[in-house]
Structure 1
Amino acid sequence: MTATPRPKIADVAAAAGVSVPTVSKVLNGRTHVSDATRAKVQQALADLDYSKRNTPAAQPGMLQLVVNNFDSPWVLETMAGVESAADRLGYAVAYSRAEHATAERWRKLREPSVNRLDGVMLLAPRRGSPLVTALRSLRIPAVAIDPEGSEGLAIPSVSPASFSGALAAVGHLLALGHRRVGIITGRNHSPGHGRARYAAYAAALHEAGLPVAPELVRDGDFSTESGMRLGAELLDLPEPPTAIFTGSDLQALGVMNAAGQRSLLVPRDLSIVGFDDIAQAALTSPPLTTVRQPLAQMAAMAVGILTEQREGAVSAAPTALEVATELVVRGTTAPPSR
């Protein structure tokens, strides 16, 4: 007796009278699908008894997340988002440091006797990354999360809106009345996001009729240590800033430490805004005003893009998706006292 072929995503699309990408959006929890269309797709999925996975339950497919390090809270929160999204779709997740990810290892995971690697996510890859070249040569579905610039990356990507988020942060400080606003970013460490956040800083000052004062600009590496060291430099100026915008929450925590060492009170003596909204941001004293990156949403979108590639529901041209950020006003910002 011949087994009945399992329905594919194209069968569901035909039954619901919609496109294949629309079905994929519903499967992966993506937005921009009307309630009526979503209901039709879900009914078709039920009628066809569509199974997201075509492998036995005992052998779930595997997605791999490649990271540069496991020390950053931002990385750990992204990992949690990836695992949650993958679990909903029946995938297991493996993690690897970038230096351990090789074409040979990927090739072995794609051999017919194994055939478990369904896709790879690269966290914050740089332009020209050899990992991208290897994944493309092996025809492995791949997506970049928060890359250092998506132009010419050659694989789909999901990124936060760095420029608009930084613009909102600096605009918030200016609206409070601050006119000497310092910045600690990471233009050399992170050419894509660091430069975008600096550009937004400069644009906000220009819009307010203020010049960019070179003595108020510092370039770090998004770490707590650089925030502490460079924050100290800014606070020790003859005319220090009344507010500082940092390119990461970790740098903001470093600035708060530097302020405390100088007996400065936040926000009475110094307002601080970070970027990321890591879990620690809400636990500082006072809680940190910051720009929230939707890490869980970005992770879910990345998993969804891999699924779409596997189902053949993407175009040939890589898609660069930018996810909106949000200013979260907490306790580290207030009008200047001097």
Structure 2
Amino acid sequence: MTATPRPKIADVAAAAGVSVPTVSKVLNGRAHVSEATRAKVRQALEELDYTKRNVPADQPGLLQLVVNNFDSPWVLEIMAGAEDAAARLGYSIVYTRAEHATAESWRKLRESSANRLAGVVLLAPRRGSRLVTTLRSLNIPAVAVDPEGTEGLTIPSVSPASFSGALAAVGHLLELGHRRIGIITGRGHGSGHSRARYAAYAAALHEAGLPVFQELVRDGDFSIEAGVRHGGDLLDLPEPPTAIFAANDLQALGVMNAATGRGLKIPADLSVVGFDDIAQAALTSPPLTTVRQPLAQLASMAVSMLTEQFDQHRPASPAALELATEMVVRGSTAPPRVG
């Protein structure tokens, strides 16, 4: 005779008509749950014969976000989204730089009786990162946000749809009538997403029957300085581009700076498109046309993927999710000047 499987926290949530995090809050005596909702959850717990033994007595309450730097507006927006998502689920969140994340520090956090480490979110981990290997060896649930690449990655990940987003960006410029389009990527720095954005650039030109002119391609490092330097190089060509697609907003802002320094007007003399839609993109003059990454959603999804692992009481198998991007047309793009 097959034994009846013990109910899971997801079963309780479905029976009560609430979310899994809400059930977790009730089980662990956390705040921000109404008495009516608590009553529904307790009734479902009783009907399903779900007892506290299904949840570890030392239920963890701390999430850690590991970042490579705190200087990028993109990173700061991901951090804000992760903090909001963690708070909604009843968890606290802490931040650390990648160089300070070690097996010893993680062991100490896992052994803590208060605010015990539940799991780790790795922000933009590099290919072959030691952090992934260490987390797996310690059996600590982990999720990667926007990793350099997902091939061989042994933890779940969530990323923006770089190829389709870049395809929309270059397609927008082509629809405006631009035929000489430059690009500033980050391919020399090994980013899978940068390579995807370059591939989309090449594919869009090919579809339009246009060649990829290598003199219009520059490898940046995703900084404003790279946009200024490489944007200036492109604009100083004997036959400069009429539009430039930058692989991120910071480089796009640098391009705009380089153009203004040369007495060019945007978008009359040069159209510029970025990628990310950081807060500053809407504040430039003119506002930057860009591809919006769902930054808050990326962070929220990563936190949710961690809580799913807690319910299973084991690290999840690798799964690579992509979230759709959105083209945001503002004032930095226009048809090319005629004549």
The TM tier, using the shorter chain, reads 0.7 to 0.9
Letter in 1 for 2:141: P
Equivalent-residue separation in structure 2 for 1:223 and 1:140 (angstroms): 33
Hey, what does 2:111 align to over in structure 1? Answer: 111
Q: Does 1:172 align with 2:172?
A: yes
- Deviations along 1:114-158, one digit per CA (max 9) or x if unpaired, are 561000000000121100000001110100001011121100000
Give the equivalent residue in structure 2 for 1:298: 298
Instruction: Give the structure 2 partner of residue 138 of structure 1.
Output: 138
Counterpart code for 1:231: G
Q: Is the 8 A contact 2:269 2:337 kept in 1?
A: yes
Distance 1:163 1:14 in 2: 36
Q: Relative to structure 1, is the Cα distance of residues 206 and 241 closer, same or farther in structure 2, using a 3 angstrom cutoff?
A: same
Looking at structure 2, the residues matched to 189 and 248 of structure 1 have their Cα atoms a distance apart, in angstroms, of 14
Whether the aligned pair in 1 keeps the contact of 2:140 and 2:315 (CA below 8 Å) is no
Q: Give the whole-Å Cα distance in 2 for the aligned partners of 1:298 and 1:14.
A: 25
Please list the CA deviations of residues 58-80 of structure 1 after superposition, one character each: whole Å capped at 9, or x if unmatched: x9710000000000000000000
Over 2 Å off, 4+ runs: 13-17, 22-28, 41-51, 53-56, 112-115, 313-317
The question of 1:258 aligning with 2:258 is answered yes
Change (3 A) 1:238 1:297: same
| Structure 2: 5+ residue stretches without partners | 1-6, 25-36
What is the one-letter code of the residue matched to 2:132?
A: V
The code of the aligned residue for 1:89 comes to L
Where structure 1 has 5 or more consecutive residues not aligned to the other structure, the ranges are 1-6, 29-40
User: 1:93: which partner in 2?
Assistant: 93
Structure 1 residue 316, shift from structure 2 partner: 5.0
1:14–1:206 CA distance, 2 compared to 1 (3 A):
closer
Asked if the contact 1:108/1:114 (under 8 Å) is kept, the reply is no
Number of the residue aligned with 2:3: none
SS at match of 1:48: helix
Note the aligned Cα RMSD (angstroms).
2.8
Give the TM-score, by structure 2 length: 0.86
Aligned counterpart for 2:44 among listed residues 42, 48, 67: 48
In 2, are the aligned partners of 1:162 and 1:193 still within 8 Å (CA)? yes
Alignment of 1:232-271 (within 5 A): 232-271=232-271
| Alignment partner, residue 67 of structure 2 | 67
Distance in 1 (CA, whole Å) between partners of 2:197 and 2:225 is 19
Shift of 1:112: 5.8
Local SS of the residue matching 2:237:
coil
Report % sequence identity: 74
Shift of 1:189: 1.6
